[in-house]
Chain A
Amino acid sequence: MSGLLAFLSDYTIQNVALGAAILGVISGVLGCFAVLRQQSLLGDTLSHAALPGICLGFIFAGTRELSAILAGALLTGILAALFMLALSRRTRLKTDAALGISLSVFFAIGIVLLTYIQGTGNAAQGGLDTFLFGQAAAILRSDIYVMGTITLIGLGLVLAFWKEFKLVTFDPGFAGSLGMPVTVVETALTLLIALAVVVGLQMVGVVLMAAMVIAPAAAARQWVRSLEAMVILSALMGIIAGVSGALVSALATGLATGPLVVLAASALVLVSIFLAPERGLLWSGLRRWRAERHLRGRQVLATMYELAAAHDNPAYPAEQSMLDAYHGLGTGKVLHRLQGRGLVRRTTHMPQEGIHWELTEDGRHEARRSLAALGKDES
């Protein structure tokens, strides 16, 4: 217990947890808009495109000064976004090609700049590598202030333009007909995602930041229906993934933070996809299984009812093997279930023959009801 307390009061650990939480909030919130607008991979482009900006910020400041580096990252992220928009709007290239071009070319420029900085032999450049895959342990308290300020600005903008962002996300056509400047709002959303990416660079790194934009939002989407709830839950998911991944990385030496955070976030997605109420694959599978079981019971009941009617004998004993042949599958289980519900009962027809079943009064009633419902559907 005292070990845990000492762990939690550790200065580095506090920094790491705080930074990861900040990152989780902003990428969770803004990721919702990216995922809902089907622009998930925009985050991928923006994060790769941050690399040249990181290098430019470093060259400009001459040292590993986080505010300069993040400003540079934001600038080249925005440039990459504009380049992507120009390519997809002014040429016949599809959006995916435009995203891929922007991503790879900006990243290549970043690599060139990175090797340029390494070539100049600046001793401080050692810190730049951590921006590739992220290194939580390298985060300083002053870095937290920078990340926190950017996050507050981002969240403030989301709150201020909530109505606009929401409408443009769900129905850009309607937003346009109301006289809303849709293109401006869309561009603003894109720039805000660039902001979220920039906050995560030190923690998760340029290569994997995209997953941090997509995963919390994709996980949150499974649980709730409204945008408001999704944004809040997504921020929570971001915090959980960020803090758990970053702490593991800070404890185990030599493991990059980005991959750990991404794996934590992806685990949340997997759990959500399977277990979320309503949308969860597990529940919908269960629902389908129940419906199929119910349908088979009704089919067997109907067959027995029709047989009884054809023989003018309400208590006609139907042989189980005949029912099997008629339905093309083993009906034993189904009949036992029906027996449990008191709809059929076993009967002996002739001792040397197989198992026979007859409808009970309830069973006849149930069969009539479902046949009548079927008739109504057909008419």
Chain B
Amino acid sequence: MLAAFFDSIPAMIIATGALVGIAASLVGTFLVLRGSSLLSDAISHSIVLGIVVVWMLTGAQSGPVQLVGAALTGLLTVFLTELLAATGRVKNDAAIGLVFPVLFSIGVLLLNVYARDVHIDQHTVLLGEIGFVWLDTVSLGGYEVPQSLLSMGAMAALNLVFVTLLFKELKLATFDRALAAALGFMPGLLFYALLALTSATAVAAFDAVGAILFIAFVIVPPSAAYLITDRLWLMLLFASLIAVLSSFAGYGAAVLLDVSIGGMMATMTGLFLVLAFLFGPRYGLIAQGLRRRRAALAQAV
């Protein structure tokens, strides 16, 4: 049964996509609520530099060294952005938009120079190769398990442990930063830990979906969930659910139309967001319209 699962290519691809979505949604929920969604944009671009530099230094194209390298690059991005904004010479949004293109540009140029020696090229950066995850497998307990599935599983588990153990602290730091600081929960440190996890997740997902599609998995499912529910734990749950559904639907549609699987999965998250936007029980456009009409009617009477 399990062997059949690991032998099935579609199952491997869908499972990898679902794990990318779950891992990204877990951290993304807090980024969206905090109003820092675009930091995921900055991080996912600049880890390209981290990946290339770690590869040049150690020769490792994936694995724990890459995850740590990425976490550091992600933190460097955020640190440089905050440093630039702290000079008061540019606004915060411009600081984000100035820092990550520089890091990304250096990464792409290094890729251009060393293109012949490394398997990541400009296309992988953008598209990922989720369709080929089953090519690169490791033996685990007698089963051939895809490398990507394993690293995504590990990241999803790590993020889940982080969110579960620090649920109360994260919740307080997200909704009432001042109180969290006063109670000694160190919201700043917590936030940096969250960003480090986001970066590591981005690298783990890099082979599967590339740098830019990853943004969709971080921001879109939590945003869709935010339009459906008011409860934080439900938001985490719905976001993960939407991510899993997107993975299934995206795979199906991509195979049907013979297009990029990662791209289709990310597109599907957008479709679910539009559905939530239209049909959300309280915040959806239709619910808003009905409420307005009822209010108008009540006034007329």
A interface residues with partner B (beta carbon < 8 Å)? 35, 38-41, 43-44, 48, 87, 90-94, 96-97, 99-101, 103-105, 107-116, 119, 129, 132-133, 207-208, 210-211, 213-215, 218, 221-222, 254-256, 258-260, 262-263, 266, 269, 273, 279, 281
Number of A-B contacts (CB under 8 A): 198
Mask of B247-270 contacts with A, CB within 8 angstroms, 1/0: 000000010011110111111011
Stretch in B15-23, B89-97, B134-142, B169-177 with 4+ CB within 8 Å of A: B89-97
The reply to whether A35 and B127 contact each other, CB–CB distance below 8 Å, is no
Known A-B contacts A259-B104, A262-B102; the reply to A96 vs B126 at CB < 8 A is no
**Closest approach, in angstroms, between the C-beta of B276 and any C-beta of chain A?**
9
Kindly state whether residue B38 has any CB partner on chain A within 8 Å. yes
Complex Cα–Cα for A109 and B254 (A) = 11
Kindly state whether residue B35 has any CB partner on chain A within 8 Å. yes
Complex Cα–Cα for A230 and B9 (A) = 56
The reply to whether B101 and A112 contact each other, CB–CB distance below 8 Å, is no
Kindly state whether residue B220 has any CB partner on chain A within 8 Å. yes
Chain A residue nearest to B84 in the complex (CB): A273
The reply to whether A38 and B93 contact each other, CB–CB distance below 8 Å, is yes
Chain A residue nearest to B101 in the complex (CB): A211
Interface set, chain B 96-145, CB cutoff 8 A to A:
96-98, 101-102, 104-106, 108-109, 112-113, 115, 122-123, 126-127
Residues of chain B within 8 A (CB-CB) of A113 are 259
Residue of B35, B123, B216 near A104 (CB, 8 A) is B216
Kindly state whether residue B219 has any CB partner on chain A within 8 Å. yes
Complex Cα–Cα for A29 and B223 (A) = 34
Kindly state whether residue B37 has any CB partner on chain A within 8 Å. yes
Cβ-closest 3 pairs across A and B? A105-B270, A111-B263, A108-B266
Residue of A96, A133, A210 near B37 (CB, 8 A) is A96
Known A-B contacts A107-B212, A112-B267; the reply to A208 vs B105 at CB < 8 A is yes
Complex Cα–Cα for A75 and B87 (A) = 37
The reply to whether A92 and B226 contact each other, CB–CB distance below 8 Å, is yes
Task: Tell me the dominant secondary structure on chain B's binding face.
Answer: helix
Complex Cα–Cα for A94 and B87 (A) = 25
Kindly state whether residue B277 has any CB partner on chain A within 8 Å. yes
Residue of B97, B115, B258, B266 near A44 (CB, 8 A) is B97
Residues of chain A within 8 A (CB-CB) of B96 are 40-41
Complex Cα–Cα for A262 and B122 (A) = 17
Known A-B contacts A93-B226, A279-B89; the reply to A104 vs B98 at CB < 8 A is no
**Closest approach, in angstroms, between the C-beta of A81 and any C-beta of chain B?**
15
Complex Cα–Cα for A116 and B264 (A) = 11
Residues of chain A within 8 A (CB-CB) of B35 are 94, 96-97
Residues of chain A within 8 A (CB-CB) of B288 are 90
Complex Cα–Cα for A97 and B219 (A) = 7
Chain A residue nearest to B224 in the complex (CB): A101
Residues of chain B within 8 A (CB-CB) of A101 are 219-220, 223, 270, 273
The reply to whether B226 and A281 contact each other, CB–CB distance below 8 Å, is no
Q: A40-B91, A41-B97, A104-B220 are in contact. List 11 more A-B contacts (CB 8 A).
A: A35-B90, A91-B227, A101-B219, A101-B220, A104-B216, A108-B270, A115-B260, A116-B257, A213-B97, A266-B98, A281-B89
